[in-house]
Chains A and B, each alone.
Chain A
Amino acid sequence: MSTKLPKINLDQVVVKFAGDSGDGMQLTGTLFSEISAKDGNDLSTFPDYPAEIRAPHNTVSGVSGFQVHIGSKRILTSGDHCDVLVAMNPASLKANLKWAKMGATLLVDADTFVEEAINKAGYTQNPLGDGSLSSYSVIDAPITSLTRAAVLELGLDIKTAEKSRNMFALGVLLNLFNKDLQVAAQQVEYKFRKKPQIGEANKKVLEAGWIYVENLELISSTFHVGKASMEPGNYRNITGNIATAWGLAAAAEKAGLQLFLGSYPITPATDILTELASLKSLGIKTFQAEDEIAGICSAIGASLTGSLAATSTSGPGLALKSEAIGLAVMTELPLVVVDVQRAGPSTGMPTKSEQGDLLQALYGRNGESPVVVMAASSPVDCFYTAFEACRIALEHMTPVILLSDGYIGNGSQLMKIPRMADLPAIHPPFAQPNDPSYKPYQRDLDTLVRKWAVPGTEGLRHRLGSLEKTDAGAASTDPENHQRMVKLRAQKVQKVAGRIPELKIEGDPNGDLLLISWGGTCGAVRAAAERLHKKGISTGHVHFHHIMPVPRNTAEVLGRFKHRMVCELNSGQFAGYLRMLFPGLTYEQYNEVTGQPFIVENLVNSITKIYEKL
């Protein structure tokens, strides 16, 4: 530990690592997060990377970033502007300086600020020498040459040696934040356990970075972020996509069913498929389909034959799956469709986040085709929402669309590890073999749920299909039967409201302003509500996990406040939905479609301005 410099205590810090794609910024950010977590900090992370795997070297379009927000208090978002920016080349600085707070610490690799790279980044002169960074605290370390020197004795070729430049930056940061070098070294060793020689080089460079801070009197003080007060227990750092995969797997285990995922690779949802593909020891079957349609259709085949079936995708894939979702609606089979939303329309911005698929999830099918729609609110919440989506799909014999997004899917948080025994039981409504009164569409009088007669069950042979059916399962074009069935399918979905939790208002329970959010923006809107309250506006915040159906007390909660402000990363889809459901109230809206998560400060300022005019 550094003892030479005075420590300044901070309750939260935002660090952004930025470099060329391939500079290892995602790994560096992840390691910094994990080491901070072990030091007791709460955290939230946000990888921000380009769609190209290796965009042209040293260009702004090739910059890959990873933001970490750590704190000794509860961390709700991955942070607004950063306190520390690591820029591994001029392009990273150019692309990210606007995200740094005035006065922020900038760690740059001075070796990379050569004429060609400076020009390629779009600078006309070297920003390290022209005084343009005078309001920041700049550490311009010759990271490349010091990295080479650190691994000289290992005899690596230059290219391999330079690949560990990111560890130098990590070493500097860890010292700056008074983190334990031993813990970090172990973590690095673990990451590279399959390539011990590379691991050794990385550890050496990490130490070199650490020592660099010790030996040079670069800075006047270091920082300390204390332990957050968290419920004691075992924790792990988890991304939203992994949490989603695990939530599906947990539900299958709880229901005593095999999990089947039919899926086609698509950014930013692919991690769900890759994770579940690796979990064969849990009896999970994954089917990498030939296209998005086959992804969902294989899942429908699996659901038909008795598995907990799911498909994972992003917006363009959801569009392709529309017709098949209708088939699952018609045949009333349990199915979970995960949509990790990205910026659209069309291919849009695959690696950027948005909440643009809400109306597609609600209505994007032919005919009257109601499904349950839910949305996860944070990386950890992905686990619980995926679990709950499965529980509802199975117990209500319905497709459920689970909306996640690129921000929470790729972002991570600390998860207190749940015990399977503490999760609720799941009871699929299986039909009894040889039940003489079995009819495919006979329903429970209360929930309107039909029974699941899985092929193989004796005495219940029947035919399901995409055609409208009578209760007995015969194809029918009878006008009254169709009207009745359309109504029953809608009511069945509405009945789910009877089991889901009521809305809870955070902050002021009633008053002037109610902030409304759904999905991955929960943390940012919650933080904004807290700040608005501090500014003297009586503000509450309500967050929707359940979108179709909405919780029972929605009308009552919305009516408690004088003004309602719906905050969304789209052009107002949820606001429009609420206007349709509860037309007696007026709704203000705040929308951004930048492909980026909300900046809390922008939210607070913009909402204040709108509020003041009301």
Chain B
Amino acid sequence: MTQNSTHKIVEIAYLFADIQNHVCALSASDSQIVYLFFVDRLTATDISYICELGSAKVYHIISKFLAKLLSESVRFRASVSLPGRPTGKLCVFREKTYTTDLEDQVSALMTNGQIEDHLMARVIDLVGTAIDIGTPAAPAQLHARIIAEIFGGEPHRRGYVLHNVLSRKP
């Protein structure tokens, strides 16, 4: 591994830690909305149904989180823009406005679907991966336990085999 690639890995680790810190600072209800949006990639309509909140409130929570992340994390800002030149509207707004304005702008952009697809996809990818990595792993026997609880008795061997085959990474 070259020194350059080691440096990149360390940078990504710091970026993920930055994002995880911001998620940890959220309240329990806000963090579940952020999880559903970034990790499970559900739409605001689905999230509003699940969490019994209005879509506007869901957009507000997500944009508040993004605005805070953009304002406070230099690494995150750098990762969603080209070196020296911000590519997306999110970063342009960060350069021009204060945090409160930024929050409104991000919210408006998200609601109207005006954020460029490639930028939003990159943001969702980064934040989703960081949160996913920070989430505790489920114990391996939980799947078997759930099946045993539902159908009673020991889970069928084929269930185990199927699970092992499918969970094996290529």
Q: Do A and B bind?
A: no
Chain B interface (Cβ within 8 Å of chain A)?
none
Chain A interface (Cβ within 8 Å of chain B)?
none
